[in-house]
Structure 1
């Protein structure tokens, strides 16, 4: 009798790193294509959900928060677009924020992005403050993601847009190594190891769907959006 293969279990990594070297390694990795895709797809979601006019309204612009901004590459990409949106971006890591400040100043967009240090478990914002919330590659760092999802939903207006993307954990160690070979073959060994650990720490689509359901949000908002990512995209309405 052949036993069933065991699903790869989640292996937690540090919630946030204060290592300047690790932050620099992350920032140097080639994320340009995935960051461009993230912003393009976020804006497409804004348009498809009826919020597009707010991007062109200088009197009543879209209010947006980016949770776990890292080194701020995504909000910089967004702020370069000819839109009325001034994202508030937060991260808990001083090492990441130091690089975020440098990147924002180097881009010349310091007047278009508001940077704050804050933990995703305790966002320094009012209830129902934002029209839209985005987050990329944060959740795999969080030991108890359901608490962060709850905090995200707290600061989002009823009917607001949530757009959250992260890595998806493969079913096996072999699956992890296949993705590392496919997407990080040209990176340094250190960068490859960071990617490997992130995949092992990530959630599956089913795990995310279950957490959304617990929060009273349609679990159908999360889908597998690439060979290595899941994405939550849509308006937050009671189930």
Structure 2
């Protein structure tokens, strides 16, 4: 399998843990402030991004949905509210994030519709063709092996099923690009350190976004793994992008 530049970007450069172990540790540490920081750092725009991503599934009306790298369950909860599938399963390697998500789901009384379980995105413990749709928001950058993770999502999709990926990307317009770079390099790590006492996590966010294979390159990777009918939608001057593919 091919290796990509972001595969080697890790949160804690001095650590001897694998990228996967470091990512789990990082999210465990910031779980208690994750939702707040998401809304604050994006000025709430990320909520609209998630809604647009989920809208890509409306035409297929999925009954069984897998939300990979589910974190605190934002996409799983929103998917249920928008599409009302029979069951949504969320998997994540961070128990800290899952605990926050389970509390949110319990508060909404959605325990029967949404289940969050600990799981490895690169070794999904479900049989082939188990789901009508797979979603992943801001998770594929964290893969230790991108192609393996994408291949696993293809494997658990039913024929005709659809993958929706929401991920950060880099703006192209020069002035906006300069402002964005300043924000990501200076503001984001500083606010992350102030609020979550963890600058490494938000420095890693910037580093991994910069090295991620975005745009047409990512679509080519999806196609190489075996997805068809691939397309992308740029959001908010290119800060984020929705990528879709079918099985």
The secondary structure found in structure 1 opposite 2:124 is coil
- Write the deviation string for residues 36-68 of structure 1: whole angstroms up to 9, x where unpaired: 4313441x3223xx424x6xxxxxxx1111001
C-alpha contact (below 8 Å) 1:90/1:117 kept by paired residues: yes
Q: How many matched pairs? A: 217
Structure 1 contact 167–198 (Cα < 8 Å) conserved: no
CA contact (8 A) 2:133 2:157 kept: yes
Task: Check if 1:177 corresponds to 2:181.
Answer: yes
The correspondence of residues 172-211 of structure 1 with structure 2, limited to 5 A, is: 177-180=181-184, 187-190=191-194, 193=199, 194-202=201-209, 203=212, 204-211=214-221
Measured in 2, the distance between the counterparts of 1:166 and 1:150 equals 17
Consecutive unaligned residues in structure 2, runs of 5 or more: 11-18
The alignment's TM-score, normalised by the length of structure 1, stands at: 0.75
Q: Is the 8 A contact 1:123 1:151 kept in 2?
A: yes
2:66 touches 2:133 (CA, 8 Å); kept in 1?
yes
In the alignment, is the contact (CA less than 8 A) between 2:64 and 2:87 conserved in 1?
Answer: yes
Say whether 1:217 aligns with 2:227.
yes
- 2:31 maps to which of 16, 23, 29: 23
Question: Does the CA contact (< 8 Å) of 2:90 and 2:116 recur in 1?
Answer: yes
CA distance in 2, matches of 1:112, 1:217: 28
CA distance in 1, matches of 2:156, 2:87: 17
Aligned to 1:123: 124
Describe the shift of the 1:84–1:206 C-alpha distance in structure 2 as closer, same or farther (beyond 3 A): closer
Stretches of 4+ moved more than 3 A in 1? 30-33, 169-176, 181-196, 222-226
Comparing 189-198 with 72-81, greater Cα deviation is found at: 189-198
Q: TM-score under structure 2 normalisation?
A: 0.73
Partner of 2:241: 230
Measure, in 2, the Cα distance between the counterparts of 1:235 and 1:103: 30
Q: Does the aligned pair in 2 maintain the 1:18–1:94 contact within 8 Å? A: no
Distance in 1, Cα, partners of 2:189 & 2:206:
15
Q: Determine which structure has the larger helix proportion and give its number.
A: 2
